[in-house]
Amino acid sequence: MEEKTIEKVNQKLFYKKLDNGLEIFMLPNNNIKNVYATFTTKYGSVHDEFVPLGENKMLTVPKGIAHFLEHKMFEQEDGVDPFTFFSKSGTDCNAHTTLKHTTYEFMGPNNFVENIGYLLDFVQELYLTDENVDSEKGIIEQELKMYMDDPIFVLYDGIKNNVFEKSPFKYPIGGTIQSIYKINRAYLTKCYNTFYNPSNMFVVITGNFDPEITLDIITKNQEGKEFKKLDGIKIKEYKEPDKVVKDYEEVSKNVDNNKFAYAIKLNLNKFNNMDEKKRNFYLSLSVESQFDSLSEFYEKMIEKNYLTDPIEFERIITDTHMVIVLLGETNYPKELFAEIDNKFKNIEITMEDFELAKKSMISSYIKRFDNIFALNDYVINEVINFNKYEGNDLDFINSLNYDELKKVSKKIDPSNKSILLVKPHKDNSNEEEK
């Protein structure tokens, strides 16, 4: 087992890759009582076209199948679901599916030895019948309908669909009502056998636990199981155009005020093979420094009543593109969008902005180690996005360069954008016609 001391935070990082390929990241903190364990597969909603384990032809599966499979993992053959098991020790458990990964988790200080073994066991044992697959479809249909009524989900899923043409990033994580009724036991089994292989998975544990004992538990648990060898997973590559699919769209929903998503689509090849983590930071800083709640732009928009609340930011990163999304509310959409266009064409980042951003990163870096949930989540995202976590954030922060930042900011092109406006229904809007 590798052991490393993370600089300036008195934190140990323990790492081990088992013979079956499972990676284990452990960051113990004995100054707190709680413990948080996650078990993640590098399998999300975008992985819908791939070569299944043991086969040689590309398979296309229905949209939303990763999320569907997450649901089915909580149904066990012995009839005792994980929620019931964990609750006996006062432990919470949950799971979630994203574009790029699916994570199973438990949190609680009691019965850690039993709980970590059970987490591995229930995720590594699939129980499917035609009946329990069919019964899940109605449950997920109701969940999807709930999301369809949520304006935030409408904005997020809608803007992705309007930005991407070919990439599976365009589709909702949960799929559609039509697609989930195409899911069957055979599809689920192929996805599970391929993506839930230990060599495509990793464990992250943060909080109060003993790493030596924990590694021994996990190692023995895995030695008692057999898995087929997986030499990588071939996933279909998409030639995504640089142009957005739809420049502008308006939809009506049951909302009180206009809500918007303003997205810019950037080809990552324009950044001259720059280190991807650096590039992502520079792009994010370039945008957030211009539009966040401390910016002159925000103060100006509030004074004009163009904005009602601070803008929120999202990034969607594929192999070839980054989409930067601004989300917010506005009383004057036409005027606000013109102001945003102008600001993107005239991005100005001072050395002071840059130094403040670095100080903020260092502060966040230090605080993260006092929050076992934030730390665990950060490690997961690092592994998913960069295939590693080494705890060397300070080295990264110190490597950032103001001149590089300015070069990156000049390459942000707002001409290739998509705007989605969610407006109130006419019968419940008091807004004057403009």
Residue 411 phi, psi dihedral angles, 5° rounding: -95, 5
| Residue 406 amino acid letter | K
Token readout for 374 is 């934030």
Q: What is d(CA 49, CA 175) in angstroms, rounded to the nearest whole number?
A: 14
Three-state SS annotation for the chain: CEEEEECCCCEEEEEEECCCCCEEEEEECCCCCCEEEEEEECCCCCCCEECCCCCCCCEECCCCHHHHHHHHCCCCCCCCCHHHHHHCCCCEEEEEECCCCEEEEEECCCCHHHHHHHHHHHHCCCCCCHHHHHHHHHHHHHHHHHHHCCHHHHHHHHHHHHHCCCCHHHCCCCCCHHHHCCCCHHHHHHHHHHHCCHHHEEEEEEECCCHHHHHHHHHHHHHCCCCCCCCCCCECCCCCCCCCCCCEEEEEECCCCEEEEEEEEEEHHHHCCCCHHHHHHHHHHHHHHHHCCCCHHHHHHHHCCCCCCCCEEEEEECCCEEEEEEEEEECCHHHHHHHHHHHHHCCCCCHHHHHHHHHHHHHHHHHHCCCHHHHHHHHHHHHHHHCCCCCCHHHHHHHCCHHHHHHHHCCCCCCCEEEEEEEECHHHCCCCCC
**What pLDDT is stored for residue 432 in this prediction?**
42
Q: All domains of the chain, ordered by start, with CATH?
A: 2-223 (3.30.830.10), 248-428 (3.30.830.10)
Q: Which residues contact 92 (CB under 8 A, 6 or more apart)?
A: 86, 106, 107, 108
Strands 35-41 and 102-107: what pairing? antiparallel
Token readout for 211 is 């790493």
Q: What is d(CA 400, CA 286) in angstroms, rounded to the nearest whole number?
A: 13
**What pLDDT is stored for residue 428 in this prediction?**
53
pLDDT digits (tens, 9 = 90+) for 188-207: 999 999 999 999 999 999 99
Q: Are 350 and 281 within 8 A, CB to CB? A: no
The one-digit pLDDT tens for each residue of the chain (434 residues) are 999 999 888 899 999 999 999 999 999 999 999 999 999 999 999 999 999 999 999 999 999 999 999 999 999 888 888 999 999 999 999 999 999 999 999 999 999 999 999 999 999 999 999 999 999 999 999 999 988 888 888 999 999 999 999 999 999 999 999 999 999 999 999 999 999 999 999 999 999 999 999 999 999 999 999 999 998 999 999 999 999 999 999 999 888 899 999 999 999 999 877 899 999 999 999 999 999 998 999 999 999 999 999 999 999 999 999 999 999 999 999 999 999 999 999 999 999 989 988 998 899 999 999 999 999 999 999 999 999 999 988 989 999 999 999 999 999 988 899 999 999 987 654 444 43
**What pLDDT is stored for residue 80 in this prediction?**
83
Q: What is d(CA 397, CA 294) in angstroms, rounded to the nearest whole number?
A: 22
pLDDT digits (tens, 9 = 90+) for 205-239: 999 999 999 999 999 999 999 999 998 999 999 99
Q: How many CB atoms lie within 10 A of CB 184?
A: 15
Provide the whole-model pTM.
Answer: 0.93
Residue of 3, 7, 23, 70 marked catalytic: 70
**What pLDDT is stored for residue 427 in this prediction?**
62
Nearest to 36 by CA among 25, 47, 44, 45: 25
Strands 321-330 and 11-17: what pairing? unpaired
Whether residue 70 lies in the annotated active site = yes
Q: How many CB atoms lie within 10 A of CB 56?
A: 7
Provide the edge-to-edge strand list for the sheet that holds 258-267. 248-253, 417-424, 258-267, 321-330, 312-317
| Residue 387 amino acid letter | N
Q: Are 275 and 347 within 8 A, CB to CB? A: no
User: Between helices 276-291 and 402-409, what is the axis angle to 10°?
Assistant: 70
